Structure 1
Amino acid sequence: MAAMGGSSPSIVEYCGGDGGYRCGYCKNDTGNLSHGMWAHSLTVQDYQDLIDRGWRRSGKYVYKPTMNRTCCPQYTIRCQALLFQPSKSHKKVLKKMLKFLTKGELSKIDSEVEPMDSHTKDADGCSLLFKSEPDTSQSELEPLNHTEKVETEDEEIKGEKSMTEVDYEHIESCSDKASANSSKPLQSAKVNHASPKPGKGADLSKPPCRKAKDIRKEHKLQRSLQNQTQNPAFRVEAQNILGQSANPKTNQPKSVEDFIFVSLLPEALHQLEVRLVRSSPPSSQFKATFQESYQVYKRYQMVIHKDPPDKPTASQFTRFLCDSPLEAENLPNGPDCGYGSFHQQYWFDGKIIAVGVIDILPKCVSSVYLYYDPDYSSLSLGVYSALREIAFTRQLHEKASDLSYYYMGFYIHSCPKMRYKGQYRPSELLCPETYAWVPIEQCLPSLEHSKYSRFNQDLKADDEGYVKELDRVWILHKRTAMRYSVYKRRRKGPSDEESVRQYATLVGQACSERMLLFRS
């Protein structure tokens, strides 16, 4: 049960699944089906393997849609960050921010282009405004006695992180199982979804179109920025990442870094700084800025999602966006900031105006949520923060060579307003049957025909992580870690083999042989 970097093993509590609940996307009262588990702790490697099998976390709750039965199948999507090139609409957002920082100008047209920013990043259909959480007694989680060696176009990128709903009954019932004291009901957030405008959404069969006028403007801006740039060091670094020459020609595509890291003129009216702070366990910087960050979240909930003032409490904010099961891990060949859960704070002229919640994992930056000051909605902060996170992923890759993907949560083709993530190219979708990554362009024809699809065209291919030996699954029972073969001999009462097999099948062989499945 070797954990990454010698950390403690993951401890999870499987909640089961099936029953139908209200869908936050299509509003079907009983169509939302998923499996879930509470993660008391997770190594970053285990969580990486879980999201590569279609799992996703919201706070400490980890869930996996029942893809072939749920009303709106949610496909894990990732962008190949090192190969990403911003589209015309992405560049428009970057230029808008640059213009605002430099001159303080923001046209009315710019502020009305993208209708989806109010949805920002969601927890992928899972707004868990926890009133309580399972609390396995301390005696059950004391040091282990092992019986064996425990080895949109523009605004919509974070639009999926809009506040929608998931299997709250599952969460509540699992909470009851985990703790006799966790009896308070969970509450969900009501959502006002904006209808997509006609013509919006990605058409991946066509390349982004560009007008000659826009190309001329881009060339003019590029020449201007080249003359203004005082510190070209990062430009060279970004070009090295992308395999570009140190002196690009003006007709070469501009990278995200060309817009984000350009030096502003001394007379620029505003300054924008992005600070990375560890949220779990909370760093001193996180603690020092907690109240300011929470107040931005509270106002966001009240203005954007129409929550009453007493609903977005500090406790709910903490459980939903600050608590994380991920263990903080630092490795010699890892990023300087380490792995785990973080907040990226956007400081505008000395105050926080937005916060991106992210997980840094062995292979990716996983985007969790975004909230922002509604006064700055017109800056398209949903798109802007996504582009910053892609650039951040490429920075981390310089130190951690395996870290090269940007995970955007779930792609939901059956919900037209959720298709915008396909605009972040090149991107891939996870096959729900073989867990192989397939370019999204190859998946779209199947999704147009059926909302649930197997993407792997090799009909002989199977789930390579399928559990072959149930007896090798690790169990945590009465403060002792043991294989399932030992546990089932010691267990009294009816067999729970069906539940354990379901859990192991969903998490896969690798995780089932590393993580500890808590059984009371």
Structure 2
Amino acid sequence: MSGRSIVEWFAEHEAYRCGYCGCADTNFSHGMWAHTMTCQDYQDLIDRGWRRSGKYVYKPTMDQTCCPQYTIKCAALQFRPSRSQKKVIKKVAKLLVNPPTGSKSGEQGGPDSQGPSMVEDVPDRQPSNVDVPQVSSGETKVAAGAQQVAAGATQDKESGLSRESQGDVKEGGASCEIEKPSSSNKVPRPAHSFASLLLGEGPDPTKPPCKKAKLLRKQRKQEKEALRQAAESAQSLPWKKEQKEEKKLFEDFLKDQALSRLEMRLVRSEPNSEEFSRTRMESFEVYKKYQIAIHKDEPDKCTMKQWTRFLVDSPLQEEHKPGSPACGNGSFHQQYWLDGKLIAVGVVDILPNCVSSVYLYYDPDYHYLSLGTYSALREIALTRQLHETAPRLEYYYMGFYIHTCSKMKYKGNYDPSFLLCPEVYSWVPVEKCRPKLDASNYARLEDPGKADENGNIDVDRVLVLYEQQLMPYAIYRALTGGSDVDDVRLYATLAGRTCAERLILFRN
């Protein structure tokens, strides 16, 4: 049945091992096997908390599972990279020109942290509004010299000796220069000599007081701030401020000349495009190397069949409809080629409203490029690019956000981002959700009073495929007695009314 989705519901609801906290039997989810699925149906399903792994489509049981998994999306058109995200882009551009010693030759260590749905890269992020002061080598020497002078003065005081002929003395970074009297020009020595200064008898009244380096830096900072405020007041027109803020767009950061060495290729994986088939073995070898090095998989488990079932097979139909991007909708691999070598692959679904990230794997020899964060930024850029010809396509879905897992919380840093409420299936800004998730692992994210608008289910209207005949569940129940009505009602409730009346439920 071309253009229709056919699914097979699994009624079992058994506990299994959690890949996030490691508990053996605390993870719960419902699932179904998608024999084929339209991109719009899958879009509607992920907007109710479903995700796919190959052709298996599953929905975590949020109020029972140990690590509740909240669907997260980023508004790609409004996205502005943070300071740390800009640093990653600049870092990649720099390292493409000058890779670190030992890279690209099998040396590993400190790879980005990973998670089960996509690369869970957790870069070290220092708050962007905090500047850590750096102590220069010159200031270190100044401090050491001051301690030596103070120690010498103590010794002179104890021995009764005066040290009147001194050179330059630096304290805290400022210079106090004491001139020696010349033999040809007799100048009476001031009452307060340098030795008396060291012996604690007070400052030299003939010299201006010295300023510490800290005070000088503070004074310079105040002067710069005053100049900046004066410049802003002189150019306080709103359009000037907006022009300054928009001066450097997100895409501009990705146009560095060094980044041109990194070629991006978007190839359709289902059905296999010619380009995908030609690079199939190279892509699999990168995956195998990644799984063994990063996830510690046994080599004999990383087979071509396992890779195909997990990351190549997809239920999504290839679609080219009005309003779709030029590449069409469906499942793709975004390949990262560096000087003709495949180093990373991002598995994505291009849907009517979004680009949905499925997984990322890369050559561990290139872990220093922070490809987890960099690939997410590239996929946001892809979303913005596709939007130009597909106006509905505005969002970037990052899989699941897990507040209890540090490796998954980084997804909330792509601003602006939203979490899906597990009870009414509306989108709530991440900032509003965090206090609730701090208080409880599972939480209703939407305000009280709002209901699930797609939750009113009429089980008799569910479409069923039985003995090669398509019929409403009401007729199927009359033919078979309807002993599975509770399972079908649960399936329809989790899928939502819209999908339940459009998907075709296969019954044997």
TM-score normalised over the length of structure 1: 0.72
Aligned length: 401
Show the counterpart of 1:256.
Answer: 250
C-alpha change, 1:246 and 1:258, in structure 2 (3 Å) is: farther
For the residue of structure 2 that corresponds to 1:277, the secondary structure is strand
Pairing of 1:310-459 with structure 2 (within 5 A): 310-457=300-447, 459=448
Show the counterpart of 2:268.
Answer: 278
**1:149-180 deviations in Å (ceiling 9; x for gaps):** xxxxxxxxx318xxxxxxxxxxxxxxxxxxxx
In the alignment, structure 1 residue 470 sits paired with structure 2 residue 465: no
Contact 1:99 1:106 (C-alpha < 8 Å) held by counterparts: no
For the residue of structure 1 that corresponds to 2:496, the secondary structure is helix
In the alignment, structure 1 residue 299 sits paired with structure 2 residue 289: yes
Shift of 1:295: 0.7
Pairing of 1:508-519 with structure 2 (within 5 A): 508-519=496-507
For the residue of structure 1 that corresponds to 2:377, the secondary structure is helix
For the residue of structure 2 that corresponds to 1:72, the secondary structure is coil
State the alpha-carbon separation in 1 of the partners of residues 99 and 342 from structure 2: 20
Look at both structures and tell me which one has the larger radius of gyration over its CA atoms: 2
State the alpha-carbon separation in 1 of the partners of residues 259 and 325 from structure 2: 33
State the alpha-carbon separation in 1 of the partners of residues 471 and 287 from structure 2: 43
Shift of 1:428: 0.2
The letter for the 2-side match of 1:300 is Y
Q: Which runs of 4+ in 1 moved over 6 A?
A: 245-248
Shift of 1:339: 0.2
The letter for the 2-side match of 1:51 is I
Shift of 1:485: 0.8
C-alpha change, 1:95 and 1:477, in structure 2 (3 Å) is: same
State the alpha-carbon separation in 2 of the partners of residues 307 and 430 from structure 1: 32
State the alpha-carbon separation in 1 of the partners of residues 317 and 259 from structure 2: 40
2:492 to 501, 504, 507: 504
The letter for the 2-side match of 1:422 is G
The letter for the 1-side match of 2:339 is D
C-alpha change, 1:250 and 1:463, in structure 2 (3 Å) is: closer
State the alpha-carbon separation in 1 of the partners of residues 43 and 33 from structure 2: 16
The letter for the 2-side match of 1:258 is D
**1:116-145 deviations in Å (ceiling 9; x for gaps):** 6241x6327xxxxxxxxxxxxxxxxxxxxx
C-alpha change, 1:76 and 1:269, in structure 2 (3 Å) is: closer
Show the counterpart of 1:178.
Answer: none
Contact 2:50 2:59 (C-alpha < 8 Å) held by counterparts: yes
State the alpha-carbon separation in 1 of the partners of residues 55 and 125 from structure 2: 32
Show the counterpart of 1:159.
Answer: 120
For the residue of structure 1 that corresponds to 2:32, the secondary structure is strand
Show the counterpart of 1:483.
Answer: 472
State the alpha-carbon separation in 1 of the partners of residues 357 and 490 from structure 2: 28
**1:254-305 deviations in Å (ceiling 9; x for gaps):** 333112123x2xxx69811000000001111110110011011111111112
State the alpha-carbon separation in 2 of the partners of residues 43 and 269 from structure 1: 35
In the alignment, structure 1 residue 98 sits paired with structure 2 residue 55: no
C-alpha change, 1:105 and 1:433, in structure 2 (3 Å) is: same
State the alpha-carbon separation in 2 of the partners of residues 386 and 116 from structure 1: 16
State the alpha-carbon separation in 2 of the partners of residues 89 and 45 from structure 1: 35
In structure 1, list runs of 5 or more residues that go unmatched: 125-157, 161-195, 215-244
**1:458-502 deviations in Å (ceiling 9; x for gaps):** x2211111143111100011111110011111115x611001001
Shift of 1:417: 2.7
Shift of 1:248: 8.7
Show the counterpart of 1:209.
Answer: 129
State the alpha-carbon separation in 1 of the partners of residues 113 and 357 from structure 2: 17
Q: Aligned residues: percent identity?
A: 57
In the alignment, structure 1 residue 12 sits paired with structure 2 residue 2: no
State the alpha-carbon separation in 1 of the partners of residues 259 and 62 from structure 2: 49
For the residue of structure 2 that corresponds to 1:400, the secondary structure is coil
State the alpha-carbon separation in 1 of the partners of residues 498 and 350 from structure 2: 20
Shift of 1:337: 0.3
State the alpha-carbon separation in 2 of the partners of residues 362 and 17 from structure 1: 31
For the residue of structure 2 that corresponds to 1:481, the secondary structure is strand
State the alpha-carbon separation in 1 of the partners of residues 128 and 435 from structure 2: 19
For the residue of structure 1 that corresponds to 2:307, the secondary structure is helix
State the alpha-carbon separation in 2 of the partners of residues 72 and 303 from structure 1: 26
In the alignment, structure 1 residue 117 sits paired with structure 2 residue 106: no
Contact 1:116 1:159 (C-alpha < 8 Å) held by counterparts: no
Shift of 1:100: 2.4
Contact 2:457 2:492 (C-alpha < 8 Å) held by counterparts: no
The letter for the 2-side match of 1:54 is G
Shift of 1:17: 4.3
The letter for the 1-side match of 2:3 is S
The letter for the 2-side match of 1:261 is K
The letter for the 2-side match of 1:518 is F
Shift of 1:310: 1.5
State the alpha-carbon separation in 1 of the partners of residues 133 and 252 from structure 2: 20
Contact 2:80 2:415 (C-alpha < 8 Å) held by counterparts: yes
The letter for the 1-side match of 2:322 is P
State the alpha-carbon separation in 2 of the partners of residues 251 and 487 from structure 1: 61
**1:354-390 deviations in Å (ceiling 9; x for gaps):** 0000000010000000000111000001111110000
In structure 2, list runs of 5 or more residues that go unmatched: 135-238
The letter for the 2-side match of 1:123 is S
State the alpha-carbon separation in 2 of the partners of residues 93 and 269 from structure 1: 12
1:88 to 79, 83, 86: 83
CA RMSD of aligned residues (A): 2.9
The letter for the 1-side match of 2:453 is E
State the alpha-carbon separation in 1 of the partners of residues 466 and 131 from structure 2: 65
Shift of 1:247: 13
Contact 2:344 2:362 (C-alpha < 8 Å) held by counterparts: yes
Show the counterpart of 2:449.
Answer: 460
The letter for the 1-side match of 2:120 is G
Contact 2:92 2:259 (C-alpha < 8 Å) held by counterparts: no
State the alpha-carbon separation in 2 of the partners of residues 212 and 257 from structure 1: 29
For the residue of structure 2 that corresponds to 1:300, the secondary structure is helix
State the alpha-carbon separation in 2 of the partners of residues 352 and 246 from structure 1: 44
Contact 2:45 2:495 (C-alpha < 8 Å) held by counterparts: yes
The letter for the 2-side match of 1:388 is R
Contact 1:201 1:417 (C-alpha < 8 Å) held by counterparts: no
Contact 2:71 2:401 (C-alpha < 8 Å) held by counterparts: yes
Shift of 1:86: 0.8
C-alpha change, 1:107 and 1:209, in structure 2 (3 Å) is: farther
State the alpha-carbon separation in 1 of the partners of residues 60 and 244 from structure 2: 46
